[in-house]
Every structure is written in C-alpha cells, then in structure tokens.
Structure 1
Amino acid sequence: MKTRLGTGLRNPYGEYLFICVVIAALLGPVIGIEIPLSGEQTMVITLFRLSLFGLILLLVWEGWQRNINSNLSLLSSYGFIFLVWLGYAVLSLLWSRDIVAGVRYVLYLSMMMGYAWLFPLLLRSEKSVRAMVRVIAMTVTVILSFAFIESITYFHLPTSRYWKIEGIPFITSVFTNQNDLATFITLLIPFILTSFYLLPLGWRGKAWAYLLLVLSLYCLIGTGSRINNLIVFPLVVAVWLISLPFTVKKSVLGDWKMWRNAGVIAASVLIVTGLSCHLLLPDFVKTKIGTTFGLYEDLKPQAWEMPAQAEEMIAGGGDRSVETRKMLILNGVFFLKESAGVGVGAGNVEPYMSKMNNVNEKSNMHNWWMEILVNFGVFIFLLYLLFYFHFLLSLYRRAGKRAQTSSWLRWGLLSSALSLTGFLLGGMAPSTVIHFTPMWTVIGLGLAMLLLYRRGDKDVIVGSE
C-alpha cells in the first residue's frame, strides 16, 4: 500500500507516525511528563520521544537495514562520523563525573541523530519532500502565530521560563527561552526568503510565505535576542545575496520587473514589520536590542580574563548575559585542559559548571561548539567540524543553477546551506543544542536533499521549474 509521502513503508500508519514525529519535534515538550532521575537531574518524556521510539521500532520491524544499504550508501561517510561520535560518547561514560547526566546526554544524542537520519531514509522523492514541507509550514505557522499572540497578551506556555510570571514582555512560544525561539527563526528565514523565487508557488503559497516572513521578523525582534537580530540575521541575508548569481539564472537576474516586484515586497515587509513592532512591542525589548553596541567592550582582548570575584563582572552591554557567557567559555577551556583534551565526558559540562560561582548560576555552555569541545574533547570537535563544513560545501555546490535540477531540490539545498551558515553563530544563543530539534531538522532536510541529488531521482530531476 503506497502512502502519500512515498516513504516506502509497508505499514500505512508509519507515514502518519513520521509526520507526528516531525510535528512533535518542532512543537517541543509542549506535551510531556517530567521524570526525576537523581538529585536535580530530570528527563522529560514527550510526544516527540514516544513517537520517535515507535517509528524506529516500526523501521526495525520492516527490515530497515535493507533500506539503509540501498538508499543511504552515498552518505555513508557522514553516517560513519555520527557513529564515531556516538561511540565516543558512550566510551566517555567511563571517566564521567556524573554517570546519570552522561547517560541522559547519550540518550539525547542518539535520539537526535536517529531523528535527523529519518529524513534521508524516508523522503525518497520530490513529492515526499513537498508533502513534508507543507506539514512543517503548517507547524511553523502555529508556532509563530502563538508567538504573536504571546507578544500582546504576555501569556506564556508551561514550557516557557516565564510560565506564571506576569508582565514579562519576552516571547518564547513553544520554547524555553527567547534565545531558542530567535535561533529557530533564523534557521527558518532562509527557507522563506528563497521560496519566493525558487519555488513554483501560486498566489496562495506566496501569500502564506509573505505572512510567515512578516511574523518571523516581528517575533525575531520581539525576542530581544541581540546575537540573532544583529549578527546572525544580517549574516544570513548577506550570504543569501552573495549566492544569488550562483543559484539564479542570468535571464532572471536581468529582468527589471523581477527586481521591481522584489523591491515592492521587501519594502512592504519592512513597513508592516516596522509598524507592528512600533505599535505592539514594549520599549524594553527595543532598548535591549539597542544595547548590542555596548557589547564591543566585552569582546576586547583585555576583557577575556577570569575575574577573582563574581562581583567584578560588569557587562558593557548593560547586563551580565555576555559576561556570563564569557565566563562559561573560560571555565569550559579550563575543564578541557584539566581533561587533557579528551573532554569531561558526555553531558558532564553541567555538573562541572554548577560548582563555579562566576557564571550567574548557569550550568549549560550556551554555546553549541564549546558544548561539543568540552564534553567530547578535541578529536570529536574536529571531526564534527569536518562533517559540518564538508556538509555545507556539498549543499552549496549542488544548489547551483543547473537545468536538470528541479526548483524544489535547489530550494532545499540552498535553504539548508544558508540556514546552517547562520547557525555557525546562532548556535551560540541557545543554552544547549543537544535536544534543540529545529537544528537537527535542518540537518535532516539537508541530508535528504543531498541524497536525492546524488541519486538523480527521476521524480526530482523532472520536477517543475
């Protein structure tokens, strides 16, 4: 029995389970049960984790080994890197200070890796990609729509750090804090921007994309996330503009009507977003973003010194957030040296960091790159960098303006590349990324697009321009 996504699963319920996994992954722990482990350690059993476990069991039941051998052999090098990373994470439990935290982190890592690889395994054609993109677009619309309502009502979900705290102007939507939401948006924006000219959308599709773009920019500003607003977003836009001559045909770039229409859309987006922010967002959020320019004082070389007392931390940006992140990095480097470069063990940054008194009661690294480096050491960090930059280069190289490549495939390749380029800096905003599903979703989509390109799938190659 064939399914609408074309996943190749014999059980028709497997497709619906896959859709449930993706929706639940993006919505986060909105539906979940928190289970205490030991001390202050907890683990949340969510709909995402339950549905992911069920889908993996189904794949095993159907003999998923054959599917991997036949469909993922072209990405075996990436899979090998992931397996080495996971194997090292398990091995690191031998020298971990907190074994419970280590096991929990290994479980998170294995779940996220499995989730990412579901996309190249089950999205086998352009038709399946289009269907999944519609599912993701509807889920994103829900997330951004609630964020818009949240910015007006200040009503926060139980997953938010501001749950039951009145009068907090920051918006978090389904995420824990505003930085998570902002990073989600900067990961999302490249997919929206490129859809206007790469996808064969009708007027309804373009209106939907326009609405999502306005909501995304409004909510991004509303988060007050300085790194995402004034560093990551400009980086994404700059790289996107640079990519235009390489991904759009000269005949299209030379069409003045296209530029006129693009100018009208851009101007209207800026006007609508600007007016909405001016009328609806509180002055506190605007002021917080304005303090970004004070951050330069915190980034001077002489400012990167470990203070003798916690009281000595004074942030040039007007608060202690940047100074705290600096201390997290300095502490992480110290832990790495103490471990002789092999890492403190999977998930053990938090137990080590919780003993420090100069990080404003923070324990997570708040930096994905340092999280990998300090937890797993230099070898895994370099291996992950090799994967990341090779993956980026492969996506960019195949997103070029080739006549035989469909618009949907080119859109997916370019959007994934732009999204992960922004994440080079955006990964420094969330408290942790190990269970930050939007990033793993982009990696999964990118792997699926790369596999479809390499396979030369007929359904993809013949896709409409």
Structure 2
Amino acid sequence: MAFISVKIAVALFVLYFIAVLFLVVFKPWIFPLSFPVIVLYLLIISSFFGAAIFNVKIGPVSLFPYRMLYIVMVFVFALYFIKEKTFLDWENNRIKPVLLFHLFWLFYACASLAWVRSLKVGLLDFIFLAIGVSLIFFAVFLLNERKHFLHIFYIWILMFTFLILIGLWNHFTRHHLPISRINVAPLYQQGIPTAVFVNENDYASFIAVSFFFLLAFIHRIPSFFLKGIGFIVLVLSLYVLLLTSSRANDIAIGLGVLVWFLFLTDRLVKKRLIIAGTGALILFREKALEFFSRFEQGLHSLNTAGNTSVDIRTNLIKNSLLFFEKSFGFGIGSGNAEFYLAHFSHYPTGGIINVHNWWVEILVNYGMFVFVGYLLIYIWTIVQLCKLFQRTLRYEKMVCEGLIGGMIAFSFSCISPSSQISLNYLWLLFAFSFAFIHFQRKKDHSNELIRSNRGVNHGQAFE
C-alpha cells in the first residue's frame, strides 16, 4: 500500500508540474480564460500523450496525466453546471441532433451489455466510449469564443510537431518509449517510429489526420518565416509516415491533398503549386517516382489476393459481417468483436482478433442503427464545414480548412489501427469539428436576431 501511495503522490506531482508549466508558458493567453476552459486545454494537451508518459500501474488500473485530468474535468464541468444554470444552454444549442445521437449511442452500448458474450471487454469498451463522448460535450459547451478554436488549433500543431520529432528520434536512435511494441520487435524493425503510440499504425493515422492542420496553417498564415518552419515539419511528417509503411494512411493523405487542392485553394495557389510541383518533380525525379510507385502499390495491394496482410484484413471483415448478420442487425454488443473473433471466427485471421476497421467495428459491435447514424453525422459534418469554409474569414477559414482535410483523411486512416475507440485524437477531431460548427451556427443565429431586432426597431421608428 505504501508503494502504491508513493506512485500516486509522484503521479500527482507530475500532473501539478505539467499544469504549472502550462500556466507559465501560456500566461498571456490563458488568464482571460475561464477555469473550465483552462482545464479543458490541459486535458487536450495530455490527450496527445495518452498512456505513453508517466504511466503508473495501480492494480488493474493504469494512471497517467490524461486520466487524472479527465477526472478533474468531470468534476469541474459538473460543479459549473450546478453553479450556473445557463452553463449548459441546451435551448440555444445549434447541434442538438448530433449530441442526442451520441447520447443514444451511449445508451445503446450500455443496453447491449445485457447480451454481450464478454462483459469485461464490453464494460471496458463502454468506458472508452463514455470518455470519448464526454469530450465532445466538454468541447461543445465550453468552446464558445473564436480564440478558443485558434488556441486548440495551435496546440494541435505544436503537439503534432513534437510527436514528429519523437518519431524521428525513434528512427535514428532505435530507442522507443516503454509503451511501444517495437521494444520487443525483431532487430530489423527497430527503426520503425511509433512516438507515443503502441504501434506504427496508430501513429501513422494520427499523422494522416494532423497533416492537414499544418497544411492549412502553412496555407493561411501570413508570416513567411512560420510558413517555412511549417513546411519543414510537413516534409518531415511525410518522411516519418513513409517509415511506418502504412498503406491506408498513404491513401488517406493522397485523398485529402486532392480534395484540398481541388476545393480549398484558389486559382492563384493552384497555379503556384503546379509550377512548384513540376519543378520538384524534375529536381527529385527518382524520389517522386518512388513515392508514386509506393502509392500505386498501396492502392493495388488493397485489392490484391495473395497478400497476407490484405487477406487477413479481408477475413476480419468477413467474420465481422457474419457476426453482424447473426445478430439480426442489432450488433453483438459493446466491444465484443474482439471476443467473437477470438472464439467464433469462421475465416482464418492468423491469430489477429482486432477488426482493424473502425467502420466495420461500429457496425458489428453496435448494429445498423448506430452505424447509419454515425455515417450520416460524419457526412453532415464535412458538408457543414465546407459550407462554413465558403464564408469564414482568414483564421476561422484556416481552422475550417484543417478540419475538412482531417475529416476527409479520417475516412481511410481509421481502417489502419487495430481499434479507434481508445485513440484520443479520434474523439478530439470530432469534438473540435462539432464545437466549431456549433460556435459558427450560434454566431449566425445571434446575428440574425440582431438584424431582426434592428428591422423591428426601424419599422417602429418609421411608424
């Protein structure tokens, strides 16, 4: 017990140190902020590190900064709700269907525990889901000023840069954080970067999504110095991504860049990019051919029989769809895909028991209702962000541009990790997007009311 107490004390001290460092470094920006928003910022920063930094095992529970700050955030959120009745202004909420769907998802996941085969796995999955959904609620109700979104956007870019540097450190020194699977991998794999993630697929998916935040920053920021720094990090991120050998994320970035080029840049930028791209192709012809060959091989391998990795992933999907069919479309229950793949697989998966496809994982675990709702909300989010992109100003357009690229890349990046539900950046991406849409809709609604009141007052004055 004394040893556990020491661990808790050290963990709390580290958390306190992180909080103080954050307050000192970002003092000019955070003092005007409310206390719940400051805690949310700290929670978001810690979410990028997850269990990789200062992970203390206390019995069956792992304690690390993100979980400790999450508990603090829950209490702070609850206290402010009790103290200020207007804190959760539900009546004026502009994205009620989105929030109601996530509440329904939580309720359905909880109800599904009644028919799961493995209650332990189901409860763990439900906890991850509850933490992710609550992050969405924190963001939607707390982020209600323009500066909040710029702060989180910059935090994301800074964390992305830091994690790219960790990935380069992994590759060149062959050293890895304790959480990484590479620590027990064969010698020839020691140069594969994983940063703060368990494996390279999780890391590559994070890079694919975050890439577009930095791309939007380079595109919209006026400072040429910051553009240059950003471009260097962007190139390094592509290099690290290639080291992970994640084909799905190569395609994710390719698709995202294509959408960005076609729909999110103006004619002048397109012209400059074509000229610069042509010059780069001439100067670095061999590297360019190597990259395009790799991209083509990635596309080809996803549809080629005889590839062991692809065959296994195909069988994982076939097994999952079989389980879904036998559940009559209601799903096998929270998190139980892994248990079913381990015990009831019809097609061979080489001992792999994770679905490795977020879309299929939602379908098999939670059934048709949740899957269709999630898919519709995903499409709705991209459509709403595209609409906002057309009418926002420079810095809000930058945030919007990064979110659109990240959401587009997510369509393929989410089929790379073994499971997405415990990956914090997934929930943060959606929370950020929902909160931004909510903020813009509330602002539009307020402007409409102001215009309406002016019209009434003008009419009364005229009479």
TM-score between both structures, scaled by the size of structure 2: 0.80
Q: Distance in 1 between matches of 2:188 and 2:31?
A: 47
Alignment of 1:433-448 (within 5 A): 433-448=420-435
Equivalent of residue 208 in structure 1, options 198, 215, 229 = 229
Q: Distance in 1 between matches of 2:182 and 2:325?
A: 36
1:26 aligns with 2:26: no
Structure 1 unaligned blocks of 5 or more: 38-42, 279-284, 299-314, 461-465
Q: Distance in 1 between matches of 2:78 and 2:271?
A: 51
Task: Give the Å deviation of 1:288.
Answer: 8.2
Equivalent of residue 322 in structure 1, options 310, 330, 337 = 310
Task: Give the Å deviation of 1:183.
Answer: 0.9
1:48 aligns with 2:35: no
Q: Secondary structure at the match of 1:95?
A: coil
Which residue in the other structure is 1:359 paired with?
349
- Kindly provide the amino acid, as one letter, of the partner of residue 226 in structure 2: G
Task: Give the Å deviation of 1:456.
Answer: 2.1
| Contact kept? 1:295, 1:316, Cα under 8 Å | no
Once the two structures are superposed, residues 246-294 of structure 1 have per-residue CA deviations (whole angstroms, 9 ceiling, x without a partner) of xx4xxxx3x48x844784489669979987999xxxxxx9998785365
Which residue in the other structure is 1:432 paired with?
419
Q: Distance in 2 between matches of 1:28 and 1:270?
A: 42
Which residue in the other structure is 2:298 paired with?
292
Q: Secondary structure at the match of 2:352?
A: coil
Which residue in the other structure is 1:422 paired with?
409
Q: Distance in 2 between matches of 1:163 and 1:366?
A: 22
Task: Give the Å deviation of 1:211.
Answer: 2.2
Q: Secondary structure at the match of 1:73?
A: coil
Q: Distance in 1 between matches of 2:327 and 2:368?
A: 11
Which residue in the other structure is 2:104 paired with?
84
Task: Give the Å deviation of 1:448.
Answer: 2.3
Once the two structures are superposed, residues 392-443 of structure 1 have per-residue CA deviations (whole angstroms, 9 ceiling, x without a partner) of 111111111x3xx221211222221221112112211111010111222211
Once the two structures are superposed, residues 305-346 of structure 1 have per-residue CA deviations (whole angstroms, 9 ceiling, x without a partner) of xxxxxxxxxx533xx211111111011011111111111100
Q: Which moved more, 1:91-100 or 1:262-271?
A: 262-271
Alignment of 1:65-464 (within 5 A): 66-69=86-89, 73-165=93-185, 166-168=187-189, 169-197=191-219, 199-229=220-250, 231-244=251-264, 248=266, 253=267, 255=268, 259-260=271-272, 263-264=275-276, 292=298, 295=301, 298=304, 316-317=306-307, 320-355=308-343, 356=345, 358-400=348-390, 402=391, 405-456=392-443
Q: Would the alpha carbon gap of residues 261 and 362 (structure 1) be closer, same or farther in structure 2, given more than 3 Å must change?
A: closer
Q: Distance in 2 between matches of 1:62 and 1:407?
A: 33
Q: Would the alpha carbon gap of residues 265 and 392 (structure 1) be closer, same or farther in structure 2, given more than 3 Å must change?
A: same
| Contact kept? 2:302, 2:310, Cα under 8 Å | no
| Contact kept? 1:8, 1:122, Cα under 8 Å | no
Q: Which moved more, 1:58-67 or 1:407-416?
A: 58-67
Q: Distance in 2 between matches of 1:323 and 1:69?
A: 50
Q: Would the alpha carbon gap of residues 273 and 178 (structure 1) be closer, same or farther in structure 2, given more than 3 Å must change?
A: farther
| Contact kept? 1:217, 1:273, Cα under 8 Å | no
Q: Which moved more, 1:261-270 or 1:22-31?
A: 261-270
Which residue in the other structure is 1:4 paired with?
29
Root-mean-square deviation (CA), in Å?
Answer: 3.3
Structure 2 unaligned blocks of 5 or more: 1-26, 448-463
Q: Distance in 2 between matches of 1:72 and 1:345?
A: 34
Task: Give the Å deviation of 1:58.
Answer: 0.7
Task: Give the Å deviation of 1:455.
Answer: 2.2
Q: Distance in 2 between matches of 1:378 and 1:242?
A: 33
- Kindly provide the amino acid, as one letter, of the partner of residue 417 in structure 2: P
Q: Would the alpha carbon gap of residues 376 and 72 (structure 1) be closer, same or farther in structure 2, given more than 3 Å must change?
A: farther
Q: Distance in 1 between matches of 2:32 and 2:133?
A: 19
Q: Would the alpha carbon gap of residues 387 and 244 (structure 1) be closer, same or farther in structure 2, given more than 3 Å must change?
A: closer
Once the two structures are superposed, residues 91-111 of structure 1 have per-residue CA deviations (whole angstroms, 9 ceiling, x without a partner) of 000101111111111110010
Task: Give the Å deviation of 1:457.
Answer: 7.7
- Kindly provide the amino acid, as one letter, of the partner of residue 444 in structure 1: A
Which residue in the other structure is 1:301 paired with?
none
| Identity percentage of aligned residues | 25
Q: Distance in 2 between matches of 1:286 and 1:244?
A: 23
Q: Would the alpha carbon gap of residues 148 and 265 (structure 1) be closer, same or farther in structure 2, given more than 3 Å must change?
A: farther
Q: Distance in 2 between matches of 1:183 and 1:411?
A: 21
Higher helix share: 2
Q: Distance in 2 between matches of 1:15 and 1:69?
A: 16
Task: Give the Å deviation of 1:161.
Answer: 1.1
Pair member with larger Rg? 2
TM-score between both structures, scaled by the size of structure 1: 0.80
Task: Give the Å deviation of 1:69.
Answer: 1.2
* Matched residue count: 414
| Contact kept? 1:342, 1:377, Cα under 8 Å | yes
